[in-house]
Structure 1
Amino acid sequence: MSPIFIQAFASLGLFMFGMLYLEDSLKKAAGSSFKRWVKISTDTNAKALTTGTVATAALQSSSVVTLMALSLVGAGLMSLQSSIGVIFGSNIGTTATGWIIAIIGFKFDIKLIALSMVGFGGIGSVLAGEGRLRHTFGGITGFGLIFLGLEGLKESFSTLSSTVDIESLRGYNVLVFLGVGLLLTAIIQSSSASIAIAQSALYTGILNFDHAAAFVIGANVGTTVTAIIGAIGGSSDKKRAALAHILFNVTTGIIAFALLHPMTWGVTHIGLHQSVEALALFHTVFNIIGVVVWYPLITPLSQWLLKRFHVVKPSPTLYIHNVSQTIPALAHEALRKEVYHLGHEVCSFAVSAINIPPQEGLKHHGSISKILEAYKEPLELAPLHLYHDLQLLQGEIL
């Protein structure tokens, strides 16, 4: 394998690891307070949209915010309608990464800055011990790794531009680059990494602006694979939220591709020319167009989705099987609610064992003696079956 491709491959790996490390550190640094903020900030469509935008810009990952929204829905902590607003907003928030890369990564000699961030964040993580401060330093390290990976991509693409027949590459139809962007993002599970590749290829002259823009559209559609994977085996609401994400990204991609030439002409003729900043602007504009189109449809879309994916519950649990364990604050909340669920089921089983219907026996009023007097006949229940269900639920909690 050519050293150029090895450098590009390693740089992409470093960039993606930096993104993953940054996401993980910021999630842990934010903790339960971030979860509470998301929960209370999504009670209207406008708030949900804003929360999704801000949260994605802060965490630098639409995938994390999308999965968080799916988990909140699965845990019963967020309505389907609110989760749709959050997911739509995350598509605007994810464009912040492209702007950071365009403004910092291609304007300055970022190698020294990146190494300083890695050094400062790494030493700080070691000295800070356990706790939120350590994860904050971890976030700084993640940013440094991202910029180191970006620098490697720039260098490898610069070398590649001198060995590739650029004119023959530019002869391909834009549909090819749309497909490559979609496929690459579906494989690597990071639209930010795909967009960084497009920006590097545009910066070094390997791709022209139209091809890079088509690549970005494909990356935007390809990121729906994350939501699909996150919804597999999940609750009905998780599947509904994932379908909303797919509908938004696919239709937005179709609109952007249909308007590709007028949009690229517009963003490159406002003083940005065919620059990486113009590509970041193009990415932002077509996502905003998508939100403008879909925002009035959030409520009817959620009502339509509520009629879909009615499936038999595959688990004795109500909450924990719907939440990703990679988000500790949400997993803890789901576990707390599941334990309450177990307690309720145990009490229901206990009163059933003495021939009292659970709905009557669990009331907090009425004379116990009168209830016992009223229900003397055995209930038509299968005690062993009910006890087996309790064992399954307890096992899932453990």
Structure 2
Amino acid sequence: MAENPDIAIYTLVAGFLGGLGLFLLGMTLMTEGLKLAGGKALQHILGTWTRTRARALGSGMAVTALVQSSSAVTVATIGFANAGLLTLGQAVWVIFGSNVGTTMTGWLVALVGLDIRIEAFSLPAIGVGALLYLFARGSRGKNLGLALAGFGLLFFGIEVLRNAFMGLSATVDLGALAKPGVTGLVIMVALGALLTVLMQSSSASMAMALTAAMSGALPLEAAAAGVIGANLGTTIKAMLVVIGATANARRVAAAHVLFNTLTALVALIILPWFLGAIAWIWGATGEAPAPAMLLALFHTGFNLLGVALMIPLAPIMIRWLQKRFRTPEEDAARPRYLDRSSAGVPDLALGALILEIDRLGDMGHRMAREALAEHPPAETSLAMQKSAVERLVETIGEFSARISTGHLPETISEGITEAMRVARYHRDVATLAYDIGCLRRLRERHALPAIAAQRRQWQELAVRALDLARLEPGDPQRDDAAEAVAQVEQEYARLKQALLREGTSGSIPIPEMERQLRIISMARRLVTQSDKARRYEDHLHSQVGQSKPDREAPPEQAG
């Protein structure tokens, strides 16, 4: 009796959806279980085992093979780069390694799912894993049980998928999708990438391609093109993760996209010859390779080829990426006046050094104004500016050391020494501004007494002294800077006394009193360091006789 066509179609669709669902559920459970059972192993490996290029590559491969999720490793790597725990050079090699590590899924399918009945180990794995999850006492045991159950479900899903594809190939010619020539391969690449994006799992797309090839539903070349597409589709999640992230995180995601795109293009171009070479090498063993084994070898092979191509290309790519996605703070950290050509001429070198240090002073001044504004600054704002100041000070120090190596006239040598003293004062201003901002964000929820008005008036005096210190030499108002500093000192003593009185009388809590005393103490030192920089700058300019470039007017005080 002929089978009802509607029932046959339903059986095929149900088998396909059920197998895919089992695979995805198993992959999710196995990945989550392994990540949780490992505790902080992922963070430890990525954070400490990536000192060299080879170790970063090996770490990416090992962790991805362990947790069976290149997306998890990619997202973690981007997160570490975002937090500054990994450099761009370290992160990109972890990403390259994760692409090789994710090929382990194909090997699991090829080695385990071919010659033995999957039910013989998948069903016991599900049962043992479930028992561990239900009855294990520690969280590690429960998570290992979850991973084991997921492992069993994953391969049970592969078996269901394979049966569905075998039934589908008997009724529908899937090979018709794979048109001959380049057009058909491009269609399969696009289909593999689309499935990866929709299912958020390249492993699922890879398993579908392997099972379709194993059942004969797809030609080998078409399935291989689908594997390339699955590899390419993993870049979508990386691009989504870095929305709103730091510039370094966006560079890591761009490296991921560039690597996968280059690898996919090369693999697609050499696809027929690559598969033929693998079959020929395998044929030397005297037995014909199974389609799944060929595809697993192909998947690993073209990712390793991509890594080999990146050995000479990665330094060029990293340098190119470092010039992209730049933030204003990173641009500020780059020297504007220092270069190798001026370093060889002492007079020019000192002039360039003075101009760069003056720009450093403007950066510290902006931070100081922001720290003493009416409302506390945002957490990331001063942190990023402080990082830019520190990098610029480091560059200034290296430039000074370079020009000081030879025999210099005494006036030039003294000028360099004095210039570096000014740079340190500006760095102190930036550091104090950052610390003040951090303390001001810790404001406790207490109703402050009338002393708040006195504190605000004192902050305005401090800002005025800072502004006067940054006026151009020769400006008539600059002569008022010393008087402004003296006024800040005088009012500081009164404000400190008032805060101590309010704290000891119980008008404000002692911790709040201590916090405000620390703030005004650091703000007072901020003003004195800025004034010291002014006095040394005046002396330096009188010796060199150099005028400063025009600078932007200082921003208005917030509030």
Quickly name the TM-score band, shorter chain normalised: 0.7 to 0.9
2:169 corresponds to: 161
Mapped to 2, the partners of 1:169 and 1:96 lie a distance apart of: 27
Determine if contact 1:177/1:211 at 8 Å carries over to the other structure: yes
Is 1:347 aligned with 2:439? yes
Identify which of 32, 45, 50 aligns with 2:58. Answer: 50
Shift of 1:346: 3.2
Q: How far did residue 273 of structure 1 move?
A: 3.1
Task: From 291, 305, 314, give the equivalent of 1:275.
Answer: 291
Q: Is the 8 Å Cα contact of residues 60 and 97 (structure 1) preserved in structure 2? A: yes
Q: 1:258 aligns with which of 259, 262, 269?
A: 269
1:279/1:233 CA distance change after superposition, 3 Å: same
Q: Does 1:223 align with 2:234?
A: yes
Contact kept, 8 Å, 2:34 with 2:147, in 1: the verdict is yes
Corresponding residue SS for 2:160: helix
Q: 1:305 to 1:316 in 2, by over 3 A?
A: farther
- Supply the AA of the counterpart residue of 2:300: T
Relative to structure 1, the CA distance from residue 125 to residue 299 in structure 2 (aligned partners, 3 Å threshold; closer, same or farther) is same
Unmatched segments (≥5 aa) in structure 2: 1-8, 330-376, 382-432, 443-454, 467-491, 493-514, 532-553
CA distance in 2, matches of 1:215, 1:242: 23
Matched, 1:11 2:9: no
Deviations 1:342-382 (A, max 9, x none): 976333679x966569x9x99x9xx99994995999xx998
Q: Which residue of 2 aligns with 1:64?
A: 72
Unpaired runs of 5+ in structure 1?
Answer: 320-340, 386-398
Q: 1:344 to 1:139 in 2, by over 3 A?
A: farther
Alpha-carbon shift at residue 295 of structure 1 (Å): 2.4
Aligned 8 A contact 1:268 1:274 in 2:
no
- CA deviation string 1:231-274 (max 9, x = no partner): 12222111111110000001110000110111010112223535
Coordinate RMSD, CA, aligned: 3.3
Q: Distance in 2 between matches of 1:16 and 1:368?
A: 57
Q: Is the 8 A contact 2:179 2:185 kept in 1?
A: no
- Structure 1 stretch displaced more, 163-172 or 278-287: 163-172
Cα distance per residue 1:163-214 (max 9 Å; x no partner): 1235645545222212211211122111111110011111111111111111
In the alignment, structure 1 residue 96 sits paired with structure 2 residue 92: no
* Aligned AA (2:237): T
Is it true that 1:151 corresponds to 2:159 in the alignment? yes
CA distance in 2, matches of 1:76, 1:317: 16
Asked if 1:201 is matched to 2:212, the reply is yes
Amino acid at match of 1:112: A
Where do 1:346-385 residues align within 5 Å?
A: 346-347=438-439, 355=459, 371=525, 374=528
CA displacement at 1:158 relative to structure 2: 1.3
Quote the Cα distance in structure 1 between the aligned partners of 2:524 and 2:103: 66
Q: Structure 1 residue 383: deviation in Å? A: 8.2
Equivalent of 2:203 in 177, 192, 200: 192
2:522 and 2:379 map into 1 onto residues whose CA distance is: 31
**Which letter does structure 2 place at the counterpart of 1:346?**
C
1:96-118 Cα offsets, whole Å, 9 max, x none, are 11001110022211113111111
Change (3 A) 1:236 1:375: closer
Q: Residues 6, 311 of structure 1: CA spacing in aligned structure 2 closer, same or farther, 3 A cutoff? A: farther
**Could you tell me which amino acid in structure 1 is paired with residue 58 of structure 2?**
T
- Alignment coverage as a number of residue pairs: 355
Q: Who is 2:486 aligned against?
A: none
Cα distance in 2, alignment partners of residues 222 and 369 from structure 1: 53
Which range moves more in the overlay, 89-98 or 293-302?
Answer: 293-302
In structure 1, give the amino acid aligned to 2:66.
Answer: A
Q: Aligned partners of 1:155 and 1:372: how far apart in 2?
A: 74
Distance 1:214 1:124, change over 3 A: same
Q: In the aligned structure 2, how far is the partner of 1:369 from the partner of 1:284?
A: 59
Tell me which amino acid in the other structure corresponds to 1:118. I
Task: State the shift of 1:133 in Å.
Answer: 2.0
Name the CA distance, whole Å, in 1 between partners of 2:527 and 2:190. 72
1:296 aligns with 2:305: no
Q: Distance in 2 between matches of 1:45 and 1:382?
A: 47
Bigger RCO of structures 1 and 2 (CA < 8 A, at least 6 apart) = 1
- 3-state SS of paired residue (2:172): coil
**Structure 1 residue 228, shift from structure 2 partner:** 1.0
CA distance in 2, matches of 1:241, 1:202: 34
Mark the CA change 1:81 to 1:286 in structure 2 (over 3 Å): closer, same or farther. Answer: same
2:78 maps to a residue whose letter is L
Aligned equivalents of 1:84, 1:121: Cα separation in 2: 35
Query: Equivalents in 1 of 2:530, 2:52: separation in Å?
Result: 50
User: Among residues 122, 127, 131, which one is paired with 1:119 in the alignment?
Assistant: 127
Instruction: State the match for 1:328 in structure 2.
Output: none
Deviation (angstroms), 1:222: 1.1
- Give 1:130 shift: 4.8
Do 2:178 and 2:187's aligned partners in 1 also have CA atoms closer than 8 Å? no
Contact preservation (8 Å) 1:240, 1:309:
yes
The change in CA–CA distance for 1:206 and 1:370 in structure 2 (over 3 A counts) is closer
Q: What displacement does 1:78 show?
A: 1.1
Take 2:525 and 2:16, find their aligned partners in 1: how far apart are those partners?
75
CA contact (8 A) 1:209 1:274 kept: no
Deviations 1:317-353 (A, max 9, x none): 549xxxxxxxxxxxxxxxxxxxxx9976333679x96
The residue type paired with residue 282 of structure 1 is F
Residue by residue over 1:280-323, the C-alpha shift from the partner in whole angstroms, topping out at 9 and shown as x without a partner, is 0001110000000012333332222122112469x94549xxxx
Query: Who is 2:326 aligned against?
Result: 310
2:127 counterpart SS class: helix
SS in 2 for 1:290: helix
Aligned partner of 1:243 in structure 2 is: 254
Deviation, structure 1 residue 161 = 1.5
Change (3 A) 1:63 1:317: farther
Asked whether the equivalents of residues 436 and 523 of structure 2 are also in contact (C-alpha less than 8 Å), the reply is no
What letter is aligned with 1:134?
K
Q: Deviations over 1:376-397 (max 9, x none)?
A: 99xx998876xxxxxxxxxxxx
TM-score (norm. length: structure 2)? 0.58
Matched letter for residue 191 of structure 2 = V
- Judged with a 3 Å threshold, the aligned counterparts in structure 2 of structure 1 residues 138 and 316 are, in CA distance, closer, same or farther, namely farther
Deviation at 1:141, TM superposition (A): 1.2
